[in-house]
Amino acid sequence: MARLAQILGDLKSRFRALPRWARVLSYVAGAAALFGVLVVFVAWLIFARGLPDAAQLAEYEPPLPSHVRAADGTPFASFARERRIFLDYEQTPKQLVGAFVSAEDKTFFTHPGIDLPGIFQAAITNLKAMGTGKRPVGASTITQQVAKNLLLTNEVSYVRKVKEIFLARRIEQALTKPEIIELYLNQIFLGRSAYGVQAASFAYFNKPVEELSLAQTAFLAVLPKAPANYNPSTEKGRVRALARRNWVLGQMAENGYVTAAQARAAAAEPIVVVNRAEIPRDRTGDYFIEDIRRELVEKYGEEGEHGIYTGGLWVRSTINPAMQRAAEMALRDGLVKYDRPRGWRGVTDKIELGEGWAQRLRAVNLPVGYDDWRAAVVLEKSGGVISLGFEDGTNGRMSAQNASIPVRGVGVPAFQRLAAGDVIPVKRVAGGDYTLRQIPDIGGGMVVMEVSTGRVLAMVGGFDARRSQYNRATQAMRQPGSAIKPFVYAAALDNGYTPASVVVDAPYCVFQTRSLGTKCFRNFSGGYAGPQTMRWGLEQSRNLMTVRLAYNTGMDKVVETIDQMGIAKLSPVLSMSLGAGETTVMKLTNAYAMLANGGKRQSPVLYDLIQDRRGRTIYRADARDCAGCSAPDWDGDAMPRPADARPQAMDAKTAYQVVHMLEGVVQRGTAVVLRDLNRPMFGKTGTTNGPTNVWFVGGTADVVAGLYLGFDEPKNMGGYAQGGTLAAPVFKQFAIAALKDAPKRPFEISPGVRMVRIDRRSGKRVYGGWQVDTDPRAAVIWEAFKPESEPRRVAAAYDPFAKAEVVRSDSEFLQSTGGIY
C-alpha cells in the first residue's frame, strides 16, 4: 500500500513539472477518452441491448427447399420459395471465395468484423451527399451483411447501421471466418429466384460451382449489390455486368487469388448465361406433385422446422416415372381422340405483336400438354402460308392444308379464321412444317395403384396442369355409373347369392312417393334378356338385373358395402346401385385394388418416407413391426416378414368372387376390347346418364388403374360415348406401354373358395368332359363358390355328332342315375 502511494505521489510530481500546455493537453485527452467511453456506453445502452444473440448463428439453418424423389430414387421435383442448395465451406471452390471477398470485403479474413477506414470514408461520402436525395452508402463488411441478412432488417437508417456494427463484433467472437463466409455464400440473394452461390450457378449457367470458369465465377460475385442492375439478358445490364465483372477480376489479381494473366484472359470472355425459357422443364407428374404438396402442407405447414418451403425435407414418393408418362400419354390421347372430330373451337388467347412478342407469348403459358406440341403466335398470314413465332423467339411456318380442321358448327377450315396475334398450339410434322392442334375442352382423371399396398404409381388430373390445377383424379366428384355395380354384386354375394344365381332381366318399376310417382328402370341398350346368371348380368352390365338384385339384397346393405370399401356414403335408394352417387377416381380405384387384394382395407399412399435435412426419418407410410428384420445376420430360420394387420373391408371369398366375375367382363363383356392384351385382367366399364361420364376401372393382380372422361361442367358427350368405347381403350394404351414387361400373374384364389365347373349360361354344375377349352365363349367355365353354396351337379356328355359337350338337365340326370345324389 505504501509502495502504491509512493508511485502515485511520484506521478503527481512529474505531472506538475510538465509545462502548462502539456498539462492542458493531458486534461483534454483524458476528457475525450472519458467522453468516448461514455458515448460507447450510451450507444450500447441504446443500440446493443436487446440485439439477437450472435451465438444462435452457430445453430442457424438456412431455409432449404424440400425435394421429392420418385420411387426409384431419381430426383423428381422440389418445393421452394427461396431456391437454395446448401454448400459447405469445404466444398466451396477457393476461387469463388476469393471472388466474393475481392468484390465485397477484401480485408474479410483480417478485420475484426468492421472496416473502420471504410466506415469513415462512407461517412464523408454521405455528408457530401446530404440534401441530394441519394441513397446513403454503407461500408458493410461480409460479417455485417450476415448480421443484416440473418438477424436484422433491411431498414435503411443509421440506427440499423450502428446495430449492425455491434452485432458484427459479436458474430466474429461467436463464429470462425469460414463459418461466417459459409453463411454468407448460402444466404445471399443473387437474382433469378436463386439464394446462395450454388443455386445461382445453376440459375445462370446450369451447372454446379465447381464447373464454373473464372469469368463465370467473377460474374456471380458481381450480383450481391443489385442483381437486377446486372442482368445480362438486357443490353444495359450486360454492359454494367461486364464492367463490374472485369473490375472484380482485377481485384482478384490484386489480392493474389489469380494471376494478372488469368484475369486478363477471363476479362476477354463475353458474359453468356442460359435463357431460363430455353431450359426445358419436365412437367411429368405435375398433378401428382401438387397433391403431395397439399398433403405435406396439411401435415407440416409451409414454414418452420419441417415446413415444406424451409425444412429441407426429402420425400420418397411412390410415383413410377415410366407408368406416369404412360398414363399421361394415354389420357391425353383419349381426350384428343374425343375432341378432334368435333371441330375447331377457335383461339383462346391473343397477344400484341411488335417488340417483345416472344416474352408476351411465354406469359400466356399455353397448356400444350405434349412434349412435341408448341405454343405459337400467328405473325403473318400471306396466301396459303402462316408465319409462326415461338416462345424462344424462333419462327416456323404452317400451310393452309395443315390448318384445315373445320370450325365447329360452321364447317369452314380453321385457316380462314386465323389472324395475326392469335395464339395456337401446333405440332411439327415431316418436312419442318407445323400443323394446327387444339387443346381439348373435355377433362378427365386417371389413377394407377399398386394392388398389394395402395401405393399410387401414377396420377393424372387433366390434360395439362398449366390449364388448371384442379385435380380431376382426387378432387372431381363424379357419378361412376356402372363402375359401381361390382359392389352391388358383392353385397348380394354376402347375402346368399352366388355368381351362378339366376336373376330376371325384365322390366322393373318401383313406387317412390306420391309426389315422385313410379320410377321405371331400363337397360342402357334397351330390351330384356329374361332369366340370366349374376355373372352374365355383371359381364353385360345389365341395369335391370342390378336394380332387382339391389332391391332383393336390401339397399341398406348395398350402401353399407360401398361405404366399407371407402367409395362414398350414399343414400339407400335404388338409383345409387346404378352409380347415381358421386365419388372420385382415387377412391374408386382404391376400392378395386382392395377387391384384388382379398378385401383388405387400405388407403392410397403418395409417399413412402419423409426425412428431415439431416436424414432423420420423420414419417414412414409402412409402420408395421417386423421382428428380426433388423437382425445383423441370418439365423437360419425363415426370413422375417412384417405382419399384415390390416382389417378386412370385405370378406376375402366375396372379393375373389367379384374379381373372378370381372375377369369375365374383359373376356366377353363390356371391356372385351382389352382381351387381346392376353393376360389375366379384371375390370368394369361405366357410363352415366346423358352420357356425361365414361369410366373404366380394373387391371391385373399387381396393378389397378381407374379413369374417367367428362366435361368439368357435366353435359352430354354424345350417344356414342361409352365406357367400353372411350375409357377402356385409354386403359389399353396405358397397359400396352406400362405392363409390357410385367409378369402374367393370375389372381390369387382366397382360402375357402371352391372352384366348380358350371354351364356359363344356365349356372348349373357339370361334371365329366374335362377337355380344357380356352375360348372365352366356352359353354363350361370354372366358377368360384363359397363352401356349401355350389349348385347341384349336372352331367356334361360329349356328343360325337355335335363335336361338343352337351349339358343335360337336372331331370335327365336324375332319371339316368336313378334318384337323388
Hey, which residues are catalytic here? 104, 482
Grid cell in block for residue 379: 405473325
Alpha-carbon distance 638 to 631, whole Å? Answer: 13
| DSSP E strands, 176-307 | none
Q: Which of these, 549, 498, 535, lies nearest to 790 by C-alpha position?
A: 498
Q: Which of these, 782, 781, 751, 685, lies nearest to 724 by C-alpha position?
A: 685
| DSSP E strands, 260-356 | 314-317, 349-350
C-alpha triplet 27, 30, 36: angle, nearest 5°: 140
Note whether 188 and 196 are within 8 A (CB): yes
**List of residues 6+ apart from 117 with CB closer than 8 A:** none
Alpha-carbon distance 186 to 195, whole Å? Answer: 7
Q: Which of these, 532, 550, 539, 575, lies nearest to 493 by C-alpha position?
A: 550
Alpha-carbon distance 798 to 664, whole Å? Answer: 25
**List of residues 6+ apart from 128 with CB closer than 8 A:** none
Note whether 171 and 179 are within 8 A (CB): no
SS3 content of the chain, % helix, strand, coil (to 5): 40, 20, 40
Q: Which of these, 431, 708, 422, lies nearest to 583 by C-alpha position?
A: 708
Residue 423 main-chain phi, psi, to 5 deg: -100, 125
- Residue bearing cell 354384386: 489
CA atoms within 13 A on the CB side of 375: 25
**List of residues 6+ apart from 142 with CB closer than 8 A:** 100, 101, 104, 105, 108, 180, 181, 184
- The partner residues of 377 in beta bridges, in order of sequence, read 389, 423
Alpha-carbon distance 611 to 617, whole Å? Answer: 4
Q: Which of these, 288, 299, 406, 290, lies nearest to 345 by C-alpha position?
A: 406
Report H helices in 301-367. 321-339, 357-364
